[in-house]
Chains A and B, each alone.
Chain A
Amino acid sequence: MSSNSFAYSEQSGGGEATELGQEATSTISPSGAFGLFSSDLKKNEDLKQMLESNKDSAKLDAMKRIVGMIAKGKNASELFPAVVKNVASKNIEIKKLVYVYLVRYAEEQQDLALLSISTFQRALKDPNQLIRASALRVLSSIRVPIIVPIMMLAIKEASADLSPYVRKNAAHAIQKLYSLDPEQKEMLIEVIEKLLKDKSTLVAGSVVMAFEEVCPDRIDLIHKNYRKLCNLLVDVEEWGQVVIIHMLTRYARTQFVSPWKEEDGLEDDEKNFYDSDDDQKEKTDKRKKSYTMDPDHRLLIRNTKPLLQSRNAAVVMAVAQLYWHISPKSEVGIISKSLVRLLRSNREVQYIVLQNIATMSIQRKGMFEPYLKSFYVRSTDPTMIKTLKLEILTNLANEANISTLLREFQTYVKSQDKEFAAATIQTIGRCATNISEVTDTCLNGLVCLLSNRDEIVVAESVVVIKKLLQMQPAQHGEIIKHMAKLLDSITVPVARASILWLIGENCERVPKIAPDVLRKMAKGFTSEDDLVKLQILNLGAKLYLTNSKQTKLLTQYILNLGKYDQNYDIRDRTRFIRQLIVPNEKSGALSKYAKKIFLAQKPAPLLESPFKDRDHFQLGTLSHTLNTKATGYLELSNWPEVAPDPSVRNVEVIELAKEWTPAGKAKKENPAKKFYSESEEEEDSSDSSSDSDSESGSASGEQEEEGDSSDDSSEDSSSEHKSDSESASEVGNKRTAKRNSKSKRKRDSEDGENENEKSKTSDSSNADSSSIEESSSDSESESESESESESRKVTKAEHMNYALSKKNLLPQVLYAFTQEKEKKTKQNINPLTKDVSLLDLDDFNPVSTPVALPTPALSPSLIADLEGLNLSTTSSVITVSTPVFVPVKTHVLLHRMSGKGLAAHYFFPRQPCIFGDKMVSVQITLNNTTDRKIENIHIGGKRLPVGMQMHVFNTIESLEPEGSITVSMGIDFCDSTQTASFQLCTKDDCFNVNIQPPVGELLLPVAMSEKDFKKEQGMLTGMNETSTVIIAAPQNFTPSVILQKVVNVANVGVVPSGQDHIHRFAAKTVHSGSLMLVTVELKEGSTAQLIINTEKTVIGSVLLRELKPVLSQG
C-alpha cells in the first residue's frame, strides 16, 4: 500500500502535501485527549453496528454521520469494511453516500476497495443511464492502480454509450485514469479522438478538457472537429464554453496567419524586426496587403461574439481574451463594454477583470478611454481594487483627460487609506513623466504635498519628486531648498535618503545649503537608519570633490564614524570612498576620476506600469494573474508566417454520420429523428413510441409554418436526401434557418452583409481546396456551417419540441421588451478643462507655473484620440468622420472701419475642437490695415448666454502693419444658435463683436452605414421628425448637386445609400452628441421630400428652414 500511495503522490505533483495529508488525517483522532479517543472508538463501534443492521434507516443514519465526519476532515477509515459491504444497497441514498466514502478512502484501503469493484462492473451495464454514469464516476475515482485495466475497458465502453451523459462522464474518467497511470496515454488519446467527433453539446466541453490535460499538443486531432466545435459553441454549457474557447484560441494562433495589419499593429513585435530590412518590409507589405482572413478564422470570431452577453463572467472573459489574441485589431473594441459590465460584479471578479484591463490598457488606451469614469475609485472599494483602478487610470491618462484625472487624484491623495494615498502619489509621478504638458503642474502639486501632515504622504512625495527632478535637471533649486528644510522634520528613512541624494547630485546648484545639510547630518549620523547613512556618505564624498574647502573636515569626520559603524555595508562603503577621494600615496589611478565617478550623469529611472511585462501571458489565465508561469500553462504560439494547409479542416461527412448511429436503427429513422435520438432514444423503450408520435406532429406543424417558403425547403430537403452524408442536426438547423430568415426579412442590409460574407467564404474555400479535392462538396459543407451557426439560437426551440413529448409541449414565451425612450447613447466624456495647460489644482497650486501651451494645430495623434473617444462612447454607429470639403465661408467679425484699422474675420474649420469636445472650432483671422503696430490683441469681457463657454486665443503681443494672423478658439454654443458676444481688445481700444453660428456649424459629420441610419431613424420619429416638400428643377436633383448644397449648409457626413433616389446625411450635434439625420428623397416630377430626424427638434427645424431654400433654388 505504501508503495502505491508513493507512486500516486509522485505523479500528482504535490508530493509533500499529499503525504502530509494522509499523515494528518490518520493522526487526527488519536491526537485528542485520551478520554476523547476512547469515546471516539465507542462511537465508531455503534456506527459499525448500525451499518450491519438490516434496517435501511439505521444504515442511512450511520452513513450520514460518517459523511459528516469526512466533511469535517475527521478520520473514518477504520469503518471501511463495514461501509463497503453496503455498496450494493438497494437504497439509492445509502448507495450514494457509500460512493462518497469509497472515493475518499479507497486509496488508503486498496485491498478492501477491490471488493466493491464487481458491483460497479455490474452497474456499468445497468439500463438506467444515471446509474451507469455514476458507477463509472466512482470506479474511475478510486485511485487504485490495480484496476487500471478495468477502468480502461470501462472508459472505452462508456465512450460508445448511447447516452451522451455517460459519454460525458467517460470524458471525465479519461483525465482521472491519465493522472493515475500516465502510461495509458496513447490508448486514452484514441478515446479522446473518438469523443472529439461526438456531436453532443454535453460531451464537447468535457472532452476538450480531457484533450487539454492529456494531449494539448495533438492539435491535429482538432482539425476535423474545428468547425463543428465553433458551431456547437453557443449551445455548450457555460463551463465547457470557457474550456473550448481557450483551446480554440491556441488553435487559431497555430493555424491562421496574423490578421494584424502593419499600420494598426504598432506594438506588433514583428514590426521592429522588419523595419531594419527594407526588402523584407516590402515583402511583408505585399503579404499584408493581399491578406484575406481564412473563413474558419472568421467563423470562430463570429461565433464567439454572442457569448460576450453571457451571464457567466468566465465566459465573457474567455471571449474577450480570444478577441484580444486572434481578432483583427479593429474588432477588439467590442469587448470593452462587456468587460466594464463585469465590474458591477463581486470583488473577486472585479479583481481579475481589472487586472486584465490593466494589461490591455497599456497597449491600447483607446479601448477603455471612453469608460474612464468606470474606473473611478470609491472609498469603500477594497485596497486591491483601488490600486488596480488607479493603475488603469494612469494607463489611460493622456493630454485630453489629464486635468480631469488630476482633480480626481486629489481626492485620492486625501484618502484615509494611506497605502492607497501613497500609490496615488506614485501615479501622479508617472503621469508627470508620461505627459510633458503637466509635468510642472504635477511637480508643484507634489511639492505642496510635502507640507502634508501625514508622514507617509510626505515620504512618498519626496521619493517621487526625486525621480521627477532627476528626469529634468533644470532649474529646480527652489524645490531642492524646500526639501532640504524638510530634513528637520521628516523621519521616514527612504524620504531622508532621497533628499540627501538629491542635494548631493545638485550640490553645485545649491552651494550654500549643501555643506550646511552635511553639517547637520554629521551631527546625528550615528542615530540614522542605514539607508540614510549611506546617503550621508555619498553626500560627503560629492561635496568633498566639489567644495573641499568647506567640507573636507566634515567629510573626514563622517568617514571616521562610518569606519566603525556596526553595519558591514556602511564600513565597506566608507573604505571605498576614502580610498577613492582622499589622496594618499597608495591611491591608484582611479582617484583621478573620482569626480567623474561620483558626479556622473545618472540615467533617470523609468516610471513604468507594473503590468508592462504581463502581456506575454495569455489573458484571463492564472499565469497572467500571478505574473509567473503556472504549472501546466500552455504557451500561446506566434502566428505562423504561412498558414498551414487549411483543407485539413474539411470534413468527410460520411464517416461522421455513421459514427454514433447504430447501423440497424439508422435506416429506419428519418434524418430528423436522429437529431434528438442521441439524447432520447436510449432512455425508455416504452416512451419511444409516443416520442415518435410527437415528433411527426411537431415536424408537420413546422411544415405548415414554412408554407410560403416551401419551394426552397423542398429543394433543400431533396439535396439533403441526396447526400446521406449530412448529419441530422444540420438538417434540423437548416430548416429553422429558413424559417429564421423569413422572420428576419426586415434586416435586409445585415443579411446582405452576411450574404457577402458567405459568398466570400465559399469562394475562398473553393480556391483553397480546389487543388486538393472535390471542391463542390466542400463548399456545400461550408455554407451549411454558415446556416447552422445562424440558426443556432433558434434551434433551441425546435430541439425542445422534438425532445419532449407532445403532452408537455412547453410554453414558448415571447415577450417584447421595449425601451420607451431608447435614446442614443451620447458622448459622455468630461469636457476638457478650459485650458489644458493651466490646471487649476485648486488647493495645491500656490505657484502658477508657466507651461508650454499646446500648439493650436491638431496633431495627428490628437485627432486620432478625439476620434477614438467619439468612436467608443457612443454606440458603435456614431463615428465622427472627416468633413466633406467645402469652400471656406468667412464671416466678418470686426470691420476695419469700426475696428480702427483692425479687421477680423472668422470661419468654422469644421474640425473637432481641441479645446473641448463640446466646443465648436472657430478660426479668427486678424488683419492690421493701419500703418503702425497693433499691440496686445486679446479677448476682453465676455457676455455669454447661460451655459455657453468659450476658450479664448492667447494674447497676440503685436501685429505688424499689413500683417495678418490666424488664431483658434473654441466655443461651446450648447447646441443653440445664440450669439456669443465678447470684446476684442487691443492695447488702446475694445470692440464689441458677436459670433452667431449658422446651425449647420453646430454639427460634426458622422460616418454611418445605411442600416444603422435606418435603425436610428426608426427611433427618432414622431415629434423628433420634421419634413417638408421641395420643388426644383430636375438638374438640381442630381446626387452631386444635392450633396454640394447640403454640405455647404451643414457639416454633415454622407451615408452611402443603396437607393438612387434617396440621399442620406448624418451628423451629431457638437455639444450633446445628439444625432441629426437628414434625408432627401426624390419623388415623382420635380419634387422631393426633405426629412430631418433628431432629438434636438429646435435645431432640427432651423436646419430644415435653411436647407429648404438652398435645395429649391436653381
Chain B
Amino acid sequence: MLLDLSEEHKEHLAFLPQVDSAVVAEFGRIAVEFLRRGSNPKIYEGAARKLSVSSDTVQHGVEGLIYLLTESSKLMISELDFQDSVFVLGFSEELNKLLLQLYLDNRKEIRTILSELAPDLPSYHSLEWRLDVQLASRSLRQQIKPSVTIKLHLNQNGDHNTQVLQTDPATLLHLVQQLEQALEEMKTNHCRRVVRNIK
C-alpha cells in the first residue's frame, strides 16, 4: 500500500533536500519529540534563523515529516512500500535512506502514541487487596464477618484513578472463576481461528 501524498504535503517536504542530512536528521528528531510531547514553536524560530529561511518553511518541513511518519506508522506500511512512496518526491538516494531509517526506528513508538488517541475507557493498572473481619457494628455485636477490601488502580487519559471496593469470600471466588473463564476463552478454537485468519 502506497502513501497518498497531497501536493501541499509534497511542497512542504520539498524543503528537505535543500538542507544537508544532518539537518534533516535533526528535523526528524524534533518531529518525534513533538509527537511525544507536543509542538514547541520556538524551536522553529531558532532553526529558521540558523538556516536563513522563514520559520514557516521550517514549520512546514517538520510538520511534513511528522505527517509522513504518522501516516506510515498508522498503516504499518512495509519498507518497500515506504521507499516507493517516498520515491515520487524525487529525493536523493541518501535522503531516502535517512527517511526510511527514521520511519523504521520510530515506528513502534509512534504506534504506541497513536493508540492513545483511541476512544478511551479506563484501563487496568493494578490491584491491592486486604483481608478484613468485621467484629461488631453499631447495630450488631459479636460478629465474625470476613470480607476482602480491594483497591483498584485505573488509568484514563493519563489520570490515575483509584476505587476502593469490598466483597465477600463467596463473591471473590465467583469473580476468580468468571475471569479465569475469560482468559481461557482466548485459547479456544474459535478465537484461535479468528486470530489466524484476520491479518
Do A and B originate from a single complex?
no
